[in-house]
Amino acid sequence: MSRYRWWLALIFALQGCAAWADGQTFRIPTRAGVEASVYWEAQEGAKATVFLFTGGNGGYGKVVDGKPTSHNFLARSVALFLADGFNVAIFGLPSDTPALDYGERVNPRHLADVRAALEFVRSKSPAPVWLVGTSRGTVSAAYVAIASVDDPGIAGLVLTSSVTAFKKQGAVPTQNLAALKLPVLVVHHVGDVCVVCRPSEVDWIMKGLKNAPLKKLLMITGGVDPSGDPCESYHYHAYIGQEQEVVDRIAAWMHNPVN
C-alpha cells in the first residue's frame, strides 16, 4: 500500500469513529512568565484520560478544525483513543522552549510544566490519568511518572517505541524505574530499526520495573509499507498501518491491566 493510499484509508477510518469530535487547545500558565500548550478532547462517559507525550521535538502540530495535524503515532491516533473510551490530552510545548530535546525532558522545568498541564486536565475531568509516551516522549512519560509516585490520580504508564540507548540523556532504562509502583505497559515493534530504540534493549526496561505491581510487554509484528526515516512517523517505529490494532491493544490493557 502506498503512503498516500494508507493515509487516505486512515482518514476514512477516522471519519467512521463517532467519538471523533472537535478538540480544543489551551495555553496553561506553568512557571513565571511561561505557558504550555495542551490539546484536550473529551469523550462522553470516559472512565480515564490518556495524557500523551509525542516524540521528536514534542507538540502536536497545528490544530485545524479541531484536529491535531502532527503525523506522530499518538497525535494521529486521537480518534482511536476516543473510540476506545478515553478522554485525550496531548502535552504541547512551553512558550520558552521551541523543542523538547532529551535533556529538556528530564528537567525540573519540564516537570513543572507537565504538572500544571495535568492539573488543568483534572479540572476538565476527574477521571484517572494514564501517562502515555512514544519514542522521545517515553523519556518524558517515565520521568513524570517517577516524580509522581505519590500522586493517586496517575493510574499507570504506557511506553511505546521507548528510547533505550543508554547514551541518550533520559533514556528509559537509565531512569529510576524501580521507583514506579503503578501498572506499566511497554509496547515495541519487533521491526523497529531506530538506532536509539532497539527492540533488543527493551528487556532492560522490564528488568528495571522491579516494583511495578503489574507490568506487561507487547511486542508488535506486522505493519504495511514502511518508508522514510526509521525513527519517524512512516516506519515500524510508529506502527505504520497498525494504528487501530496497537491502540486497541493498549486500550484493552488500560481498561484491565494484567501481567
Domains, the chain: 3-255 (3.40.50.1820)
SS3 194: coil
Sheet arrangement for strand 86-94: 24-31, 34-41, 86-94, 48-53, 129-134, 154-160, 184-189, 215-220
Q: 226: which 3 cell numbers?
A: 514502511
Pairing of strands 129-134, 48-53: parallel
- pLDDT on residue 83: 97
* Chain Cα centroid distance, residue 45: 22
pLDDT surpasses 50 at 2:
no
**DSSP codes, 178-238:** GG--S-EEEEEETT---TTS-GGGTHHHHHH-TT-SSEEEEEE---S---S-TTSTTSGGG
Burial (CB < 10 A; 0-12, 13-18, 19+), residue 55, is: buried
Please say if the pLDDT value at position 225 is more than 50. Answer: yes
Check whether 115 has a pLDDT greater than 60.
yes
Q: What's the average model confidence in pLDDT over 2-11? A: 39
Residues present in the chain in total: 259
The DSSP secondary-structure symbol of 175 reads: S
Return the bridge partners of 27, or none. Answer: 37
What's the pLDDT tens digit per position in 19-77? 334 699 999 999 999 999 999 999 999 999 999 999 999 999 999 988 899 999 999 99
The SS3 assignment for 198 reads coil
pLDDT, tens only, 189-205: 999 999 999 999 999 99
Single-letter code of the amino acid located at 32? A
Q: Can you give the C-alpha Rg of the chain in angstroms?
A: 17
Read off the pLDDT of each residue in 217-226 and give the average, rounded to a whole number: 95
16 CB-near residues (< 8 Å, 6+ apart): none
- Residues 6 or more apart whose CB falls under 8 angstroms from that of 101 comprise 57
CB 247 within 8 A of CB 84: yes
- pLDDT exceeding 70 applies to what percent of the chain? 92
pTM of the model: 0.91
